[in-house]
Amino acid sequence: MHIAIISHDGKKAEMIQFLMDYKAILAQKKISLIATGTTGEKAEKAGFNVKKVLSGPMGGDAQIAAKVAEGNIDLVIFFRDPLEKHPHEPDISMLMRLCDVHNIPLATNPATAELLIKAI
């Protein structure tokens, strides 16, 4: 199973805490993590093995969206900060749309992510 993890700057600490809370599930050999640049760096510092793409504003969201379209992502966890403006909003919208088009589960907050992780 390939899980994409992405988080806006204001949500990175929350993402790392989420990963730590579910480390036992995520550490399974059958699960691999792919992340946008800065989120991936923080996840690595927390002890996770992560394949990184570019940071979101530099095209990382689009790279993950392409992997969704290619059928290479099984779940997306994207902790979005709805109170901030993001210059790469078109890439974010594209990623969310492609998750819907390809029927890929998408969690945009910890409560939904917890339900999806527990279902693995």
Sequence letter at residue 48: F
Q: Is the pTM of this model over 0.85?
A: yes
Q: What is the CATH number of the domain that holds 100?
A: 3.40.50.1380
pLDDT at 88 over 80: no
| Cα(24)–Cα(81) distance, integer angstroms | 26
| Cα(111)–Cα(69) distance, integer angstroms | 25
* Total number of domains in the chain: 1
Listed residue (52, 49, 40, 51) closest to 16, CA to CA: 40
Residue 68 pLDDT class (50, 70, 90 cuts)? very high
Q: Which residue has the tokens 């510092």?
A: 45
Average pLDDT rounded to a whole number, residues 13-24: 97
Average pLDDT rounded to a whole number, residues 54-65: 94
Domain that holds residue 68: 2-118
pLDDT at 29 over 90: no
**Active-site amino acid positions:** 61
Q: What are phi and psi of 71, to 5 degrees?
A: 85, 20
